[in-house]
Structures are given as structure tokens and as C-alpha cells.
Amino acid sequence: MILKQDKLKIKLSSFLAYLGLVTVLLTVSCVNTKKKTYENTADIPVNREMVAELTAPPHVPTPVGKRLAKKLIVNMEILEKEGEMTDGVKYVYWTFGGSVPGSFIRTRVGDEVEFTLSNHPDNKLPHNIDLHAVTGPGGGATSSFVAPGHEKTFSFKTLNPGLYVYHCATAPVGMHIANGMYGLILVEPEGGLPPVDKEYYIMQGDFYTKGENGEPGLQAFDMNKAVDEDADYVVFNGSVNALTGDNAITAKVGETVRLFVGNGGPNLTSSFHVIGEIFDNVFVEGGDMINENVQTTSIPAGGAAIVEFRVDVPGTFILVDHAIFRAFNKGALGMLKVEGEDNKTIYSGVVQEGIYNPEGGGVQTMPDDGKAKQTVATTEKTLAEKMESGKQIYMQTCFACHQAEGQGIPNAFPPLAKSDYLNANVDRAIEIVLKGKTGEITVNGEKYNSVMTRQSISNDEIADVLTYVYNSWDNNKTNVTKAMVDRVKSGH
């Protein structure tokens, strides 16, 4: 006979044994569900399917964070479309996703990417895509050659973390790249990149046109210039003003900024620099190696880099290719506008907005009696046409010294607005633009002793820019003609 007390002991013993078994099972379960690391990233399994978020520059998709590897569906359309290289200059771009550079693709290590490339039926040419993140023949180019009105699908596994260029590789390869067919694909490491406040997508490219820099109208691609590496434009994100003015990227004081910077080429190496900032971290060539406290980083054609920095003071910070004539004369210039409170401990200088601006292709020399390059005007322009042309020339060649409203810079460059010196003698003004000027002059009662460089622009362009100046800012509204410039130049 088992006593009631013994029955309780048996039940308690059974319960404790059960608890022990549960503990063992839970321990085993925890061990089995612990995140597994893979020595070979090709072995990382994918978890479900998702459609990739694609973005046009300067925007980037949402960071991958700690998500598992996925079957990532990428759908990209090729579009051949007309766009604006700079004011008055049109160009037919060949694009991935309708933008230059093409859509930003964001993945993580271990993703299985199913890539569908569509060639719009209105396009004229076949295209393909070579992604530097792909391990396989042609980086996908051999599997993606597609005619207008068709599409191709292929897959690849992302094996190596980093920031990679993609581009068209259809012959002639250089022509397809030079017309804007390049972009970036990011492969984040497992667990994602460290979080920052702002991320932006910037890509440099060099363009070659039949007309010279700034020559208006629809410009065709010039193969001979491209072979000679004689670029008319070197730009960020496909055009001269893609990252200036209202298109500038932004941040606030105290924020951390990450720039994904690529170089589509096809020819020139970028010396990427942000004026007034120091890169805290540079992921060299878009890979794992991190360099710290960097002023300028070199990005080869077909290469990329990730740069990170914290913005500590407000103002407009200028992004350039520090091969500096490319920035100010060919267009490789952008702006980062930072808002917030001043920090006088870090920087106490006077803020002066608007000094930095692309200056265009006008060639300037020190004053002499040399002859400026001539072009022949085929028809007489209307005043409105001359004003439009003159404003463009002014913004390219005169803006930095005389400023947007002709106000000049105190104690340095005289004003053109309401200028008694300018309005008193039109022929003198023409001669100064033709030959340049040194020495002291008095404008509106103030003395200036600076140098006016000789402008190597045509007589027709001189007439246009002076007409713009004389018909702006309360000046005397003189309509300067090419004949007037010809007369002054000939000495009559």
C-alpha cells in the first residue's frame, strides 16, 4: 500500500524529471537556432523573395539592416531619352532606369538576385549590363544582351561586400558608357553598414560632344574626342547643375553623412573632394579597407568609394573633382547645404554665399593685345535672344567676380549694377572685355585696383553678354551689336 505522502513524493520526482527534460530540449533548441556563420558566402541560404527598391540619384534605397538574405527581384528598364547637359545644351542620354547614373541597387551578401533587363521598344539600339558585383562571364553581359522591345532575365549570387559599378558592355563599349550607361550596386555585409543620418548617391562621368562646352542646341556624341579623352563636360549625376542650387543635397549640423561615390568614366579618374570637410572614413575603392582623415580620394574610371563625415558647422560645402578645371570649367561641381547653429570654436569666418559656381568653357587670359577667337553669326538675334544668351555667358564667365546681381565684391571687384563707369563709355567696356584691364579705376565713387582678365569668347558672345549687363540692374539699356565689337576691335 502506497501512502498519500509517498504518492506526493513520486509525483514531485516525476515533475522534476520532466522539467529537466524540458531544459535539455530548450538548450538543444537554442544551440540549433543560433545564427550560423558561413565561411563561403555562396552557401548562405535565401529566405523568401522580395522586390528590390531602386532609386534615382542622388537618393539611395533603404539600408538592408539585419535582414536575412533574400531572393531579390530587380527589374530595370533601358531608356534612350533627351535631357539637358547645361542651360541651352541638350543631349540624348542612354540610361538604366531613366537617369544618369542609373538606378541605385542595394543588396546584401548572400542575396540571390534575379535580374530582368528590359529594352524599351522606342529605343534604337541593343544594350546589356555588366555588373562588377557579379562573379560570372562578362559580369552578366553575356546573359543580358537585349534588343529594343525585348527583355532578358538572369540570376547571380552576391558573394563579396562592397560598392560596385555597373555599365553597358555592348560594342562599342566606350560609346555606351560615354552616353550615360553606368550606375552603382551596393552589396552590404551581413548585419548591414553602421547607421548614419544621411546617405546620397553621386557618380561622375565625362561627356564628349560635337559642339564645344556651352555651345547651345542638341549635341551629338563625338567619338574622336572620346578616343582622345578630350572631354567637353565632366559632371556629377549626368549634368552640370545636377547637384547645385535647388538640386543640392542637404544635411543639418551634427548629422553624419555617407556618400556613395562612383566614377562611370569612360576615361577620366576622379579626385573627389568636399571643400571645407575632411572625410572621417573612406572605404577605399569601395572595399573593406577603411582610411581615416582623408582630404581627397582617388576614384578610377569604373571604380567607387564610400566616404563618411560629420558636418559640424552650417554653410554650403562644395563637392568637386579636384582636377580643378573640370570642376569650374567643365561642370564637376556639386553642393551640400548644411543648416544649423554656428560653432564659433570650429569656424568663425564670414559666410558669403554664391561664390562657387560652374564657370563654363570660357578661356580667360591675363590682359594683352592678343586677338580673341572669332565665330561668324549667321543671323541677327532679337534682344530677347541676346539677353538669354548673354545671361548664360555671364553666369559662366563673370559671375564669380561680379556676382549674380552685378553687385561685385567690396574692395575687390567693382559693381556692374548702376555703374557710372560702365554706362559712361560703351566702347571702353567692349575694349576691356576684348583685351582685359589692369590698374586703378573709380566706380560709383569707390576706387578698385584689380585685374580684369581678357575673355577668349567670340565678338558675337561679347555683344550678347554686354547687352545683358547693360539691360540689367538699372543700367542704360544699350543693345551692343557684333558690328560695334568688330569696330572697337579693329581700332576704328
Is 402 assigned a ligand-binding role in the annotation?
no
Element containing residue 461 per DSSP (H, E)? helix 459-470
472-478: long-range contacts, CB 8 A cutoff, minimum separation 24: 472/406, 472/417, 473/405, 473/406, 473/416, 473/417, 473/418, 474/417, 474/418, 475/416, 475/417, 475/418, 475/419, 475/422, 475/423, 476/423, 478/426
User: Facing residues of 106 across strands?
Assistant: 186
Mean pLDDT of 119-134: 97
pLDDT in tens, 156-208: 999 999 999 999 999 999 999 999 999 999 999 999 999 999 999 999 999 99
Show the CA angle centred on residue 121, arms to residues 119 and 126, nearest 5°: 45
Q: What domains are there in the chain, each with its CATH number? A: 43-188 (2.60.40.420), 198-339 (2.60.40.420), 363-490 (1.10.760.10)
Query: What residues are paired with 198 via a beta bridge?
Result: 257
CA distance 204 to 242: 11
Residues 6+ apart with CB under 8 A from 108: 64, 67, 69, 158, 161, 187, 188, 189, 190, 192
Residue 30, pLDDT > 50, answer no
Closest CA to 274 of 240, 301, 302, 305: 305
Q: What is the predicted pLDDT for the residue at 364?
A: 62
Instruction: Tell me whether residue 492 is annotated as binding.
Output: no
Q: Are strands 256-265 and 198-207 parallel, antiparallel or unpaired?
A: parallel
The answer to the question of whether 150 is labelled as a binding residue is no
- 273 appears as a binding residue in the annotation: no
At 39, the pLDDT band (50, 70, 90 cuts) reads confident
pLDDT of 292 reads 98
- pTM: predicted TM-score of the whole model, two decimal places: 0.76
Q: What is the mean pLDDT of residues 102-109?
A: 98
Residue 398 marked as a ligand binder: no
Distance, CA of 120 to CA of 139 (rounded, Å): 22
Q: What is the pLDDT at residue 361?
A: 65
Q: Report residue 475 as a C-alpha cell.
A: 543700367
Q: What is the pLDDT of residues 310-358, one digit of tens each?
A: 999 999 999 999 999 999 999 999 999 999 999 999 998 655 555 556 6
pLDDT at 18 > cutoff 70: no
Q: How far apart are CA 444 and CA 439, in angstroms?
A: 16
Tell me which of 1 and 42 has the higher pLDDT. Answer: 42
